[in-house]
A and B are shown apart, each in its own frame.
Chain A
Amino acid sequence: MAKEISGYLKLQIKGGAANPSPPVGPALGSKGLNIMEFCKQFNARSQEKQGQVLPVLITIYTDKSFDFVIKTPPAAVLVMNAAKLKKGSAESNRTKVGSITWDQVKEIAETKLPDLNAFDIQPAMRMVAGTARSMGVKITGDAPWANN
Chain B
Amino acid sequence: MNFVELHIQTSTDLVEILIAELGNLAFDTFEETDDGLNAYAEEVNFDLEAVNEIIGRYNELGAMTITTKLIPKENWNEEWEKNFHPITVKDQILVRADFHEPQKGFPYEIIIVPKMSFGTGHHDTTSQMLQWQLQTDQKDKTVLDAGTGTGILSIMAGKCGASKILANDIDEWCIDNSQENFSLNECQEVDLRLGDIQVFEGEQVDIILANINKNVLLKEIPFYAKLLKTKGSLILSGFYEHDIPDLEQCLTSAGLKKEAHTVQNNWAAIRCMKAS
Contact = CB atoms under 8 A, between A and B. Distances in A.
Taking chain B's interface residues, is the majority helix, strand, or loop, or is none over half, making it mixed? mixed
B73 A29 contact: no
Given A30-B76, A53-B20, A131-B17, A89 B57 contact: yes
Interface stretch (B113-121, B154-162, B198-206): B113-121
B261 interface: no
Contacts of A13: 28-30
B77 A25 contact: yes
A36 B120 CA distance: 10
B29 to A, nearest CB: 5
Contacts of B67: none
Given A50-B215, A90-B56, 10 more contacts: A12-B19, A14-B23, A23-B29, A34-B77, A35-B116, A47-B213, A53-B20, A76-B17, A80-B21, A88-B57
A10 B31 contact: yes
16 contacts: A12-B19, A22-B3, A29-B76, A29-B79, A32-B80, A36-B116, A36-B120, A37-B122, A44-B239, A47-B213, A47-B215, A64-B80, A77-B16, A80-B21, A88-B17, A134-B14
Interface in A19-63: 19-26, 28-37, 39-40, 43-44, 47, 50, 52-53
A92 interface: yes
A40 B118 contact: yes
Number of chain B interface residues as a range: 35 or more
A17 interface: yes
Contacts of A24: 29
B60 A93 contact: yes
B114 to A, nearest CB: 7
Nearest to A86: B24
Contacts of A131: 16-17
Interface of B: 3, 5, 13-14, 16-17, 19-21, 23-24, 28-32, 38, 40, 42, 54, 56-58, 60-61, 71, 73, 76-80, 83-84, 114, 116-118, 120, 122-123, 125, 213-215, 238-240, 243, 267
A91 interface: yes
A23 B38 contact: yes
Interface residues of A, number: 52
A12 B39 CA distance: 9
Contacts of A12: 19, 29-32
Contacts of B83: 32
Contact of B3 (A10, A14, A21, A32): A21
Contacts of A74: 16, 19-20
A126 interface: no
Nearest to B62: A134
Which of A31, A35, A64, A75 gathers most chain B CB within 10 Å? A35
A53 B240 contact: no
A145 B42 CA distance: 46
A11 interface: yes
B86 to A, nearest CB: 15
Contact of B20 (A16, A23, A39, A76): A76
Nearest to B22: A53
B79 A30 contact: yes
A74 B168 CA distance: 36
A87 B23 contact: no
Contacts of A30: 76, 79
> What 9 A-B pairs are tightest by C-beta distance, nearest first?
A29-B76, A25-B76, A76-B20, A12-B30, A74-B16, A32-B79, A77-B20, A53-B23, A34-B80
